[in-house]
Every structure is written in C-alpha cells, then in structure tokens.
Amino acid sequence: MILTVTLNTALDITYRVRSLRPHTTHRVSEVTERPGGKGVNVARVLAALGHEVTVTGFAGGSTGRIVQDALTATPGVVDALVPIGGTTRRTIAVVDERTGDTTQLNEPGPAIAPAEWSAFLEAYEDLLAPASAVALCGSLPPGVPVGAYAGLIRTARAAGVPVLLDTSGEPLRRGVAARPDVIKPNADELAELTGSHEPLRATQDARRRGAHAVVASLGPEGLLALTPEGRWRATPPTRVHGNPTGAGDSAAAGLLSGLVDHLPWPDRLTRATALAAATVRARVAGEFDRGTYEELLGRVAVIGEVSAA
C-alpha cells in the first residue's frame, strides 16, 4: 500500500467557458467536480496505474463529505481522512476553450485545531505500518506547524518507509533538512529553496541540504534528477499543449510507482515524464490521458550518467 498525505485537501471544480474575458458574464459549458489537493491527485493516478493507495489528511463540512464520498467510489483508493470542525476548501479552475489557458482560484484551507492535529499524528503512525512508501504533498492549512513535514518525514524514516516530499517555501526548507528520500520541486520552488536559477546547481545544493534524491520538474522541458545512483535528464519527445494543472502530481505518482516497483532511475523518470505529459493532454485538470501515456512511454528521452560511487 502507498500512503499519500494531503493536509490541505480540496474539492476541485473545473468550469469550461468558450472564452474567458474580464468584466463580463460567462456561460459555463461544462462543470466537473472531483477530490483535490496534491496528495489526492497523486493517489488517483497511482490507483489508475494499479496500486493500492490510502489517502489521509483532513476533511470537514459539506465539501469534505463530497470529497470523501468521491474517494470511497474511486477503485483502489482507501479514504482515511481525519474529520475536522472546519470546512474543506474549494479550488476553481476556469478553462478558456478558445486558448486552452486555465485560470486558477484557490481558497485558503480551514484552521486545524491542536486536538485535530494530534488526532492526525496518531492516525499517521498507524497508517505507516503497512505502507511501502509515503508521499507528503501540498500546502499546510492554518494551525499546522510550519515544520510539520519535517516531523512526518522523521516518523516515516523511523518506521523504515521511504518518503517523497512535494511542497514549497518554508515547509520544503525544513522538510529537506529531515532527509526525505525524494523531493520533487518545480523550477521556481527549487530556486526559492537554494537561491539558484540554474537547475543543475540548484539540485546539487538541494541534495547537500539533506534530500537523498532531487527530481526537479522543468515544465515542458521534462525532469532533471540528481540521485546517489547518477544524474539524468528526461524529456518528452514533443511539446504537449493543454492544461498543465496536476502534471507535477502525476510526475510524483510516476516516481512513487517506480520506487515501489523497484525500477532503476531512468525507468522511473520515463514513467513520471510520460504521466506528466499525458496529464497536460487530458480534458479535466489533474487526470491523465492513458492513450498519450502509453504512447509516450517508449518515446521519452532519458540521458545522463551513472555515479561511479
């Protein structure tokens, strides 16, 4: 079982309009709702790949009930969200059908009470016992300590469970120091962490700060990985046009899937890059187009060098 942690879960709502224009009224042509938050997105992709996944984090209020009902109906996904008194946030994605661009509106998360955080920590320790890997993903809601991910990483390491961390800002900086097995920042998050806008230098700095392996998401240019086993660059064969929302989460799912399947790093990166590109191609934000994924698996270019160590 793979465990994904989403402390700031959401109900993702996607509106499609013919053309998005400021200061006007729009007629929505299609509305889609689904459970969201980075770790939930990762779980959905992992389940589609055939893995058993448990989702934990927080859920509350009417939107929280919708999220939990949808998770329960998702094959391969087990809902282990911890109940809270607040209401789970919503995120709104407005897709301009003329240009393909997406405008994102993200609500803040509900405040987490100390007793609710304690209940989560107890549940997390129990869920680690059967886990083969854990993903810690996304932003922290109000009330959760800024060093929360660092503590969760240490708990997982003590249980012998490998950890992927995908967050940003101060939670990422503190989390890296706890020595996660993999971090997966995008280029901006990596630059904020290290102060360097040169990807290779930044990944080297991030490893020195404590990350066992660093996989940087470079958008349409693919992934750059620096690991104890070597350094690789993975790129899709062509630039894929569409909605990039959730592409990074799909890449994280690919990396986790490859980890638990004991694949070598080049194969993990191939899987992650193909999934990210297939997510850009999908009609609904955060899903992935299986046909595109299967086609790209054999066409992703991975170049690099194996470490002599």
120 in Cβ contact with 149 (< 8 Å):
no
Check residue 186 and report its DSSP letter.
B
Phi, psi values for residue 299, rounded to 5° = -125, -5
Distance between CA atoms of residues 26 and 16, nearest Å:
10
With the C-alpha atoms ordered 107, 63, 82, 254, is the resulting torsion angle positive or negative? Answer: negative
Distance between CA atoms of residues 173 and 178, nearest Å:
9
Closest CA to 124 of 153, 93, 103: 153
Distance between CA atoms of residues 6 and 26, nearest Å:
32
Helix 148-158 / helix 169-177 crossing angle, nearest 10 deg: 30
Closest CA to 136 of 2, 36, 257, 6: 6
* Annotated catalytic residue, options 79, 166, 205, 249: 249
156 in Cβ contact with 25 (< 8 Å):
no
Helix (H) / strand (E) element for 59: namely: strand 53-59
Strand-pair category, 133-137 with 2-6: parallel
**261 is an active site residue:** no
Phi, psi values for residue 235, rounded to 5° = -135, 140
Distance between CA atoms of residues 206 and 264, nearest Å:
21
Phi, psi values for residue 200, rounded to 5° = -65, -45
* Catalytic sites, residue numbers: 249
